[in-house]
Amino acid sequence: MSASHPYPAGWYRFRYSHELARGRLVAGRFFGKPLVGFRTERGSAHVFDAHCRHLGAHFADGRVVGDELRCGFHGWRYDTEGQCTQIPFTDTIPNDARVKAYPVRERNGTVWFWHDSTGAAPGFEIPDVPEMNSADWKRGPIHREVVRAHIREPRENAVDVAHGPILHGKSFPLTPGTMAEVRGWEEDAERKQLRFELVNSIGPASRAREVVLRFELVGPGHLVMRSDLPIEMLYFVPNTPVDDERIVFTVATWVKRSKLPFVDSALVRLAMFNFLRGLREDYVIFDKKRYLNDPLLSDADGPIARMRRWLSQFDPRPLP
Ligand code: FES
Ligand SMILES: [Fe+2]
């Protein structure tokens, strides 16, 4: 990994929705910048640069008052657009009294903010994922950790089929002599979505069977994976860069409600355990690797170059 590639523009997870209660203010550090997120008393979520325009206090030392953010140092108040609306003991507000408010969307149980290092406006939207908004499904365990990796690494890793038997050979029961196949590649150029299937063959050669993991990406920051094994479930993997070197890697699970909730929750925990065991093997590599802009690919590699081309559309371009 190295800082050789810019941050792709897109929607990124700030927090899960349930972590940002009404009137709550939380600090975050993403894209090398201190940020704050808050939810107004009326219920809308917002993400700002963290430092007050006045004398630079961190908003985490302030609080939410009604639908505004009040700095804890001298009490300047900002509306949800980041515009200062009130300064104690004066009626005059300096012209430049505003802070950066990022575009925010709340979808799929998640507070998203739009990041484009050129400052360009959102170029696409996050669609509703049916399972994550259905009463027939419920949220299972969530995992999160900070991992040393460029934001591109985990996306490329999904289609990097040649590393499966070598790196994950012990933790995943791949049929000997096989590696995964990527099938059904489908790009939606307008909505910035990408779908494909990762098909593994598991078990001994005599009784091999296919296991399919269905991927759905929306921009660089939103990824959903659907699986039927061991039960019908969904992995939600919205990664956000912390800085040039690290990302917050989170995995949330959703599972279809059934008549046997205890069995389901045990199976989801087992699926998550296996998933994380595989991821940890990747993390070991990510931790010391460099991100090469010019890798030397061979015929054995999966569609890594194709994934890179898809991701490249989100590289920031200077505004015309
Ligand atoms: S630093 Fe925020 S009001 Fe003074
Ligand atoms: Fe992997």
Residue 121 alpha carbon to ligand 2 centre in Å: 33
Q: What is the pLDDT of residue 279?
A: 94
DSSP three-state, residue 158:
helix
Residue 306 falls inside a structural domain = yes
Residue 111 alpha carbon to ligand 1 centre in Å: 26
Are 77 and 29 found together in one domain? yes
Q: Of the candidates 82, 115, 148, which is a domain's last residue? A: 115
72 alpha carbon, closest ligand? 1
Beta strands in 89-160 (DSSP E): 101-102, 104-107, 110-115, 137-148
Are 291 and 173 found together in one domain? yes
Number of folded domains that form the chain = 2
> Using CA positions, which residue lies closest to atom 3 of ligand 1?
74
Q: What is the pLDDT of residue 320?
A: 59
Residue 127 falls inside a structural domain = no
Q: What is the pLDDT of residue 13?
A: 98
Are 105 and 139 found together in one domain? no
**Does the CB atom of residue 71 touch ligand 1 within 6 A?**
yes
99 alpha carbon, closest ligand? 1
List, for the chain, all residue ranges whose pLDDT scores fall below the cut of 50.
Answer: 1-3
Residues forming beta bridges with residue 11, ordered by sequence position? 114
**Does the CB atom of residue 57 touch ligand 1 within 6 A?**
yes
Domain encompassing residue 28: 10-115
Q: What is the pLDDT of residue 319?
A: 62
Q: What is the pLDDT of residue 59?
A: 98
88 alpha carbon, closest ligand? 1
In a mutational test of the pocket of ligand 1, which residue from 68, 76, 96 has the highest number of ligand atoms less than 8 Å from its CB? 76
Q: What is the pLDDT of residue 2?
A: 42
Are 95 and 143 found together in one domain? no
Residue 187 falls inside a structural domain = yes
Residue 65 falls inside a structural domain = yes
Are 42 and 106 found together in one domain? yes
**CATH code for the domain of 137:** 3.90.380.10
Residues 6+ positions from 104 with CB-CB distance below 8 Å = 14, 45, 46, 47, 111, 112, 113, 114
- This prediction has a pTM of 0.94
**Does the CB atom of residue 52 touch ligand 1 within 6 A?**
yes
Neighbours of 11 (CB within 10 A): 26
Are 215 and 99 found together in one domain? no
> Using CA positions, which residue lies closest to atom 1 of ligand 1?
55
Residues 6+ positions from 77 with CB-CB distance below 8 Å = 65, 68, 69, 70, 71, 84, 85, 86, 87
Q: What is the pLDDT of residue 215?
A: 98
